[in-house]
Structure 1
Amino acid sequence: MSTVYEGHVIWAQVDANMHLRHSAYADFAAQARIAMLNDLGLDFSALKRLQLGPILFREELQYLREVGINDTVKIHSLLVKTRKDGSRWSIRHELYRSDGVKAAIINVDGAWMDVAKRKLTALPEDLARQFLTLPKADDFEEEAA
């Protein structure tokens, strides 16, 4: 099982070759992560109150098939790796076209930042437990701190 975000490809996301531009794939994956966090109760107001923000260390995109304008895409998101406290994590996003063809795989490695101190931090314990309930990939691994 994975969390699923659905989006529509608009004119501004298309490049000169008349298909989804490279950075739009990353934008869809970012929106899928935000939707996933919202489902956990970590919406922008909660993050602001906690002075937390998700940051990325690495983002890797593998392009498999073209996606065209006016297509609807579905992004399936899975937790691939995390520390037990949820402080560091890796998420895999698989982007599918409306015809069911997998068009891209987006892998990200990230962490949480205390936006006031500008330093890496862990989630509060209750939110870390909740974060660990995210759907996990078949190759999921828990990392030592």
Structure 2
Amino acid sequence: MQIKNVFYEGQVIWAQIDANRHLRHSAYADFCAQARSNMLDKIGLSLGRIAEAGIGPVLFREELVYLREIHLNDAVAVTVELTRYNAANSRFSFRHEIYRSDGTKCAVVTVDGAWLDLRKRKLTVLPADWQAIVEQLPRSEDYQEVST
């Protein structure tokens, strides 16, 4: 099975395990945040570059659907795809899928967010000259361009 748009791969370590001996809930979010950071870096929008522009990402919603358990020492791969984007106000939604090395899909994580002007502490849009870079974001099959 070929998994597309993988932006994080790693081993589950002891610190990520909960009392039930499987991956703790917050570790899923950590994997996804790292995958998003890696994805942005790959297309030329490192978090450092974004911060230099006085902008930062902010999440409004994060939904995690558990499908299968992940255990200590399992290797995981995390995909990221843009599912919705509004260029007028730079709001976005990303879907992440977390797989074990045997190809089993274990979780689906969806986040909704936007870009924050770090000085004004208000939502902002990305610079217009970054639009070509944003076009490089991997899109899901059900991707929606939003214009309102």
Q: TM-score, normalised by structure 1?
A: 0.94
What are the residue-to-residue correspondences of 1:11-30 with 2, within 5 Å? 11-30=14-33
1-structure distance, mates of 2:41, 2:5: 15
Choose the corresponding residue for 1:93, options 91, 96, 100: 96
Matched, 1:76 2:83: no
- Gapped runs of 5+ residues in structure 1? none
RMSD: 1.3
CA contact (8 A) 2:40 2:47 kept: no
Deviation per CA, 1:2-26: give whole Å up to 9, x if none.
Answer: 2432122111000011110011111
Counterpart code for 2:126: L
Task: Specify which of 114, 130, 142 is matched with residue 127 of structure 1.
Answer: 130
Q: Percent identity?
A: 52
Structure-to-structure mapping, 1:126-145, within 5 angstroms: 126-145=129-148
Question: Structure 1, residues 83-138: CA drift from partner, whole Å, max 9, x if none?
Answer: 13570000000000111100000000010001011010010112133112211111
Q: What TM-score do the two structures reach when normalised by structure 2?
A: 0.92
- Aligned with residue 48 of structure 2, among 22, 29, 45: 45
Paired residue for 1:32? 35
Matched length = 145
Please, which of 101, 105, 117 is the counterpart of residue 102 of structure 1?
105
Judge which range, 39-48 or 86-95, deviates more: 39-48
Task: Judge conservation of contact 1:81–1:91 (CA < 8 Å) in 2.
Answer: yes
| 1:44-95 CA distance string (max 9 Å, x none) | 3212210110110100000000001111110111110001357000000000
SS at match of 1:19: coil
- Confirm or deny: 8 A CA contact 1:86 1:131 kept in the other structure: no
Q: Aligned equivalents of 2:95 and 2:46: distance in 1? A: 20
